[in-house]
Amino acid sequence: MSHPAAKRKEGLPESAPVAVGVCLVLLTLGTPARAAGATGASCVTSCERHVQERVLRTQLCGRCLLVGSERRTGWLEGIGERQPFPADVVRSAMDDEDWTVAEAAVRAQAAHLGRPVEAVAARWLLQSSGEIRSRACTHVFRFGAAQHRTFPQVRARMANAGGPDGVRAASVLSSCQPKARAALELGLYAMEPREQLEAVRHLAALLGVSPAEAVVAAMVSRSEETDPIAARALLLDAKEGGVPLGRALLRVATVRNQERVNRLVALYAQQIRTIARGRSDPDPLARRGVVAELRPYGPLAGPELEAMLADDDAGVRLAAARAIVEGEGRDFESAVRARLRPPRGAPAKGLSPSVQARWLELYAMSGKGHCRGKLVREVAKDASTPPPVRAAALSALASCRTADAQRVVFAALSSEDTEVRAAAVAALGDAPRSRAVGEAAAKALDDPALPVRLAALEVIAIQRPGGVQARIARLVDDPDARVRAAAVRTLGTIAAHAHVSKVADRLREDADRDVRIAAVEALGELGGPVAIGALTEAAANDPEGRVRYLARQRLGALGFRR
C-alpha cells in the first residue's frame, strides 16, 4: 500500500472520498442557504459554524449530504477516533447553542480521551463561566433528559461517575437548575416545532412528570395570549406518540390546574371542530385523513370519531374505532368487550344493539386475532345477547374455519330469532365444503322466514351441494318476488338444466321485473333451445326495455344476432 505522502508527491488526492466530499460541499455551499429539511442543510450549517480550516471543512462537512439533514450532528460522527484529533473544532462544538451538537462533541472528546462521558462533561462545566456555563448546565440536564433522567438523577450520576471533578460539577448543576428549568420552559414557546417538542419532553423528564403536567405548570408564568403556543407543544407530543390529549389532560385536571386545563380544552375543541368539517368530504382517503388528524386529541374528539363509525367506507370506520380505542388507552379486544360485556359491577355504556354490533364487526375487521380469541364465540353462543349483536358475531365467525367456530355456527341454526338464523346460514357460505354444510343449507330453504331462505339460496350458489335442485325449483313459485328472483338466479348458477322450463316460465309470466331480469341471467347461463326461445320472445315482447335489452345481450353471448 502506498504511503499518503507518496501520493501527495505524485499529485494524487489523499483519498477518493475526500475528492467526492469536495464536490459535495462545493455544490452545497454554492447554493443559497435552505431551511432545515433540504438535504444536508442543517448539518452543513452546524459544521460550518465550527470548522474553519478548508481541507478539514471539506472532509467533515461533506458527510452531511451522505447522512442527511435530520442528523445534524452527522459531521461529528467518528471524529473522536480521528488522527490528528481536531481538538479546537470539538471544543467549539461543545459550546454550540444546539444541545445535540454539544452532546455529540462531549461524546467525541470522551472517545478521544478514553474517559467516561460524565467526566468530560464535568470538566467542561467547571471550565466554563457566565452565560456559557448557564448554557452548558442546561445542555448537561438535556443530555440526561434524553435518557429519561430527572434533575436529581442527573446530579447524582455526575457526582458518582464524573471522576474527581464530578462532585464539584454536581454542585454547579444544583445552583443552575432554576435557570435550566426556566430555559426549558421558554423552549416550550419556541416557534420551531422540533425545538418545542424537545423542550416539553425534556422538561417533563427532568421534573419527573408527564408532558401535560409540565405544560400546565409552565402556563402559570405566562399570559393567556400564549396559550395557543402551549397547546401546540402538547399537541406535538401527542402526534409523536405521546398520550392522546384528552387522556393526558384528564390526569392533570386537579382543582389547582382546572382553570388552565379548561383553557387548553377550549382551544382544542375549536381545533377539533375545524378538522371535523372534513367528515363530509366525498373522498374516503380525505376522510381517513380527518381521522388521522383527530387521533391525537383522544377522548376530546370522541363524539366526532364516534360519528365516523357509521361512515360508508370500511377503512374510515376501522380507523375511527382504532383512534377511539387508543384514546381510551386500551387494546381493541378490551375496548369491545367493555362495550358488549362490562365487568360485573361496572356501569354499562348504554350502547344500542346496532352500535354494539358495529363495534363487533370492526373488531373482526381489525385482524386482532378474533378467530383465536374467545370474545366473538362467547357472544355468538349467548342466547341472551341482542340478536343484531349475535348476528354480527356469527358473521365474524364465518371467516374462522376452525372446528370450534363451525360448532357455534351450526348450533345457531336452531335459534328462535330470525336474524340469528339468517346470519348462521350466511356464515355457512365461507365454511369448507361438506355434506353437513350442504344439508344445513338445504334444510334452511324450507324456513318460514324470508331472510333465512334468501341466505340459504346464496350459500347454495357458493357451496353447490348435490340433491337440492328440485327444492330450489319449488321456490321459483314462492309468494315473495325476492325469493323467486334468488331461486331462478341460483338455478342458473348451479347449472340446473333439468329446470330450465321453470326458469323460462318466470321470464314469460312473472309480473315482477327483477324476477324476469334474474331469469334472463339464468337462461343465459343454462343455454339450450328452451332458453333461446324464451330469450327471443323476451327480446321482442317484454314490456320493460331493460329486460328486452338484457335478453338481446344474452342471445348475442349465446351466438345469436337479431
What pLDDT, on the 0 to 100 scale, is given for residue 31? 35
What would the mean pLDDT of 84-109 be, rounded to a whole number?
A: 94
129, pLDDT greater than 50: yes
| Cα first-last separation, the chain | 89
Average pLDDT, the chain: 87
Q: Which residues pair with 430 in a beta bridge?
A: none
Cell of 554: 344474452
Backbone angles phi, psi at 36, to 5 degrees: -55, 135
What pLDDT, on the 0 to 100 scale, is given for residue 343? 61
Q: What is the pLDDT of residues 141-199, one digit of tens each?
A: 999 999 999 999 999 999 999 889 999 999 999 999 999 999 999 999 999 999 999 99
> How far is residue 41 from each of residues 26, 30, 64, 69, 368, measured CA to CA in Å?
13, 12, 8, 6, 43
Confidence label for 431 from pLDDT (cuts 50, 70 and 90): confident
Residues 551, 541: Cα–Cα separation, whole Å: 10
Q: Report helix, strand or coil for 276.
A: helix
User: Using CA atoms in the order 500, 502, 506, 509, what is the torsion angle rounded to 10 degrees?
Assistant: 120
Residues 224, 204: Cα–Cα separation, whole Å: 21
Q: Which residue's C-alpha cell is 370450534?
A: 404
Residues 14, 387: Cα–Cα separation, whole Å: 80
Confidence label for 391 from pLDDT (cuts 50, 70 and 90): very high
What pLDDT, on the 0 to 100 scale, is given for residue 250? 93
Residues 129, 134: Cα–Cα separation, whole Å: 8
Taking each continuous run of H as one helix and of E as one strand, the counts in the chain are: 33, 0
Cis peptide preceding 299, ω within 30 of 0: no
Residues 311, 318: Cα–Cα separation, whole Å: 10
Residues 174, 332: Cα–Cα separation, whole Å: 46
Which residues touch 117 (CB under 8 Å, ≥6 apart)?
106, 107, 110, 143
459, pLDDT greater than 50: yes
CB-CB contact of 327 with 244 (8 Å) = yes
Confidence label for 274 from pLDDT (cuts 50, 70 and 90): very high
Q: What is the pLDDT of residues 195-209, one digit of tens each?
A: 999 999 999 999 999
CB-CB contact of 67 with 74 (8 Å) = yes
Q: Which residue's C-alpha cell is 459550546?
A: 95
- Amino acid letter for position 368: K
What pLDDT, on the 0 to 100 scale, is given for residue 35? 36
354, pLDDT greater than 50: yes
Q: Report helix, strand or coil for 38.
A: strand
Residues 35, 33: Cα–Cα separation, whole Å: 7
Handedness of CA 472, 478, 483, 486 (dihedral sign): positive
Which residues touch 333 (CB under 8 Å, ≥6 apart)?
363, 368, 370, 373, 375
The fraction of the chain above a pLDDT of 90, given in percent, is 67
Q: What is the DSSP letter of 432?
A: P
Cell of 270: 375549536
What pLDDT, on the 0 to 100 scale, is given for residue 144? 95
What pLDDT, on the 0 to 100 scale, is given for residue 280? 93
Residue predicted with more confidence, 35 or 41: 41
What pLDDT, on the 0 to 100 scale, is given for residue 342? 66
What pLDDT, on the 0 to 100 scale, is given for residue 368? 62
22, pLDDT greater than 70: no
Cell of 560: 345469436
The answer to which of 254-258, 272-276, 435-439 has the lowest mean pLDDT is 435-439
9, pLDDT greater than 50: no
